[in-house]
């Protein structure tokens, strides 16, 4: 028997490629989300470090002022504290911007996950169709083979009858 080619093989290959592409895009989206979350965590840690430095500098300024430090030293501390507050505000702004990036990355993961699921379903449908087609083809071949064996048996039986041979079968 000649090998019969699945007529929708090209479409099946396309669906498989789409599924693989969607899986790759999903993986990239997840990696981007993890990177964005990591950066956000780093920014939060940097802000916490700035806040800690602010409290430490304020406490140091109070200790020096309690000991009777020079006014110029106080101004230096105040300016440093003001700079730390500005750094904290800038860092908070960066954190807020990074949160937006994280939210967008999460939306992208949801979108690419849906696309992957859809393309995987389409590929699965095509695979199921191919399996059903193969079973149907096998059934047709089995029926054809059965019919040919029946015809062959009938022909052999008729030839034996014409020659006068008795059949070994008894019904």
CA atoms within 13 A on the CB side of 169: 5
Alpha-carbon radius of gyration of the chain: 40
Which CATH number goes with the domain that contains 21? 1.10.287.1700
Domain that holds residue 36: 9-125
Mean pLDDT, residues 142-155: 89
Cβ distance 85 to 54 under 8 Å?
A: yes
> Looking at the 3D structure of the chain, how many domains does it have?
1
Q: Which residue has the higher pLDDT, 19 or 6?
A: 19
Of the listed ranges 29-38, 70-79, 125-134, the least confidently predicted one is 70-79
In a domain, 171, yes or no: no
In a domain, 20, yes or no: yes
In a domain, 91, yes or no: yes
Q: What is the pTM of this model?
A: 0.71
In a domain, 144, yes or no: no
Of the listed ranges 2-6, 106-110, 156-160, the least confidently predicted one is 2-6
What does 52-106 look like in DSSP terms, one character per residue? HHHHHHHHHHHHHHHTT--HHHHHHHHHHHHHHHHHHHHHHHHHHHHHHHHHHHH
Flag whether pLDDT at 107 surpasses 50.
yes
Q: What pLDDT score was predicted for residue 4?
A: 79
In a domain, 93, yes or no: yes
**Residue-wise burial string across 101-140, b where 16 or more C-beta atoms lie within 10 A, e elsewhere:** bbeebeebbeebeebbeebeebbeebeeebeeeeeeeeee
Mean pLDDT of the residues in the chain: 88
Q: What pLDDT score was predicted for residue 171?
A: 44
Distance CA 121, CA 15 (A): 10
Flag whether pLDDT at 89 surpasses 50.
yes
Q: Which residue has the higher pLDDT, 24 or 161?
A: 24
In a domain, 136, yes or no: no
Of the listed ranges 87-91, 112-116, 165-169, the least confidently predicted one is 165-169
Flag whether pLDDT at 68 surpasses 80.
no
Flag whether pLDDT at 41 surpasses 60.
yes
In a domain, 87, yes or no: yes
């Amino acid at each position: 028997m000649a090998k019969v080619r699945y007529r929708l093989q090209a479409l099946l290959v396309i669906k498989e490629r789409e599924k693989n592409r969607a899986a790759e895009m999903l993986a990239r989206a997840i990696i981007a989300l993890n990177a964005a979350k990591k950066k956000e965590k780093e920014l939060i840690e940097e802000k916490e470090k700035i806040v800690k430095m602010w409290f430490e500098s304020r406490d140091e300024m109070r200790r020096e002022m309690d000991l009777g430090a020079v006014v110029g030293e106080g101004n230096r501390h105040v300016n440093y504290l003001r700079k730390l507050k500005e750094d904290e505000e800038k860092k908070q702004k960066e954190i807020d911007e990074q949160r937006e990036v994280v939210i967008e990355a999460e939306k992208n993961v949801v979108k690419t996950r849906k696309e992957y699921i859809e393309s995987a379903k389409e590929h699965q449908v095509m695979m199921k169709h191919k399996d059903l087609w193969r079973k149907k083809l096998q059934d047709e071949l089995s029926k054809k083979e059965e019919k040919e064996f029946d015809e062959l048996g009938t022909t052999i039986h008729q030839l034996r009858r014409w020659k006068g041979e008795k059949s070994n079968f008894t019904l």
